[in-house]
Amino acid sequence: MVMVHRSRSDDLGQARTGLGLRSVETMTPPSTENPAVHVQQLTKRYGHRTVVDGISLSIARGETLGILGTNGAGKTTTVEMIAGLRRPDSGSVSVLGLDVHRDRGALRQVLGVQLQDAELHEALTVSELLALYRSFYPSPRPAEELLDLVELEDQRATRFGKLSGGQQQRLSVALALVGRPRVVILDELTTGLDPAARRRMWRTIERLKADGVTILLVSHAMEEVQRLCDRIVLLDAGRVLAAGTPAEFVEGAGTTTLDEAFVQLTGHEMEIAE
């Protein structure tokens, strides 16, 4: 059953009632005992604008949770607060029981993050970047294992600035995994990648899932979310609009695809960020 939260719009509320989706007032958190990620009533404002408005969610250990939403829904701000990059105005975040600000040092050892808008040193080669980031951790993954994981064995001597967009993205994921993290945040993992590069990236994530790594995936790509995520949280205007498995979303919305379910629930077409 998809759990639907209170909406910013009566129209949307009526639309969901018509779809037979459950109201947020009856929603209970997923049954996760000792979750990998626990977010409670997270709120972030920029001036008078509330970007994240009381979001709560949990991710079970080993689970892959997808965060969906239109541009401006608060996805990146939410994950950056979970990663400890931004301080919430209120609410709390814990990752593997660690407070993301108080326990920053310990958090960085167990959390791997691939950011949407972060860059790497253009003049360094793939091998040099791996060596640099490996040096940050007490027991890093071997460079060869990482190159194999993201299929960049043949690019080890290539400078970052000379890699294709897909190769840069895969290296970015490899660097997020250097420290053997138990929780990984992947923000806009495959945005801008061609279909072949996207599928290679998905294979990488599936290998991570098989290893029991907890993954928080922010994405615009419905096919990706459907293939990789155990559960989805749909954000709209900084709030959780609905949560459930991909199948529950489709079933609950009475549609044939997740894309259609998304449109039904938000009233918007998904905008693909390039």
Q: Which residues bind another protein (CB under 8 A)?
A: 34, 36, 61-62, 83-85, 96-98, 103, 105-106, 108-113, 115, 117-121, 123-124, 128, 131-133, 135-138, 141, 145, 149, 172, 175, 179-182, 207, 211-214
Say if residues 40 and 17 touch (Cβ distance below 8 Å).
Answer: no
Q: Distance between CA atoms of 152 and 140, rounded to whole angstroms?
A: 18
Q: Read off the tokens for 39.
A: 């977010």
Our measurement of the distance from residue 13's CA atom to the centroid of its chain's CA atoms, rounded to an integer in Å, reads 26
Nearer Cβ to another protein (208/265)? 208
Q: How far is the CB of 189 from another protein (least distance, A)?
A: 15
12: nearest Cα among 222, 188, 266, 272: 266
Pairing assessment for the beta strands 239-244 and 231-236 based on DSSP bridges: antiparallel
Q: How far is the CB of 213 from another protein (least distance, A)?
A: 5
Please report the DSSP string for 192-225 in residue order: T--HHHHHHHHHHHHHHHHTT-EEEEE-S-HHHH
Nearer Cβ to another protein (187/248)? 187
Q: How far is the CB of 13 from another protein (least distance, A)?
A: 37
Helix (H/G/I), strand (E/B), else coil: 137? coil
Q: Distance between CA atoms of 95 and 137, rounded to whole angstroms?
A: 18
Nearer Cβ to another protein (5/182)? 182
Q: How far is the CB of 111 from another protein (least distance, A)?
A: 7
Nearer Cβ to another protein (84/252)? 84
Q: How far is the CB of 110 from another protein (least distance, A)?
A: 6
Question: Which long-range contacts (C-beta less than 8 Å, at least 24 apart) are formed by 88-91?
Answer: 88/42, 88/43, 88/44, 88/52, 89/43, 89/44, 89/45, 90/41, 90/42, 90/43, 91/39, 91/40, 91/41, 91/42, 91/43, 91/54, 91/55, 91/56
Q: Read off the tokens for 106.
A: 């310990």
Q: Distance between CA atoms of 129 and 102, rounded to whole angstroms?
A: 28
Nearer Cβ to another protein (45/209)? 209
Nearer Cβ to another protein (53/103)? 103
Q: How far is the CB of 191 from another protein (least distance, A)?
A: 15
Q: Distance between CA atoms of 73 and 8, rounded to whole angstroms?
A: 12
Nearer Cβ to another protein (22/209)? 209
Q: How far is the CB of 106 from another protein (least distance, A)?
A: 4
Q: How far is the CB of 43 from another protein (least distance, A)?
A: 20
Nearer Cβ to another protein (177/261)? 177
Backbone angles phi, psi at 54, to 5 degrees: 75, 40
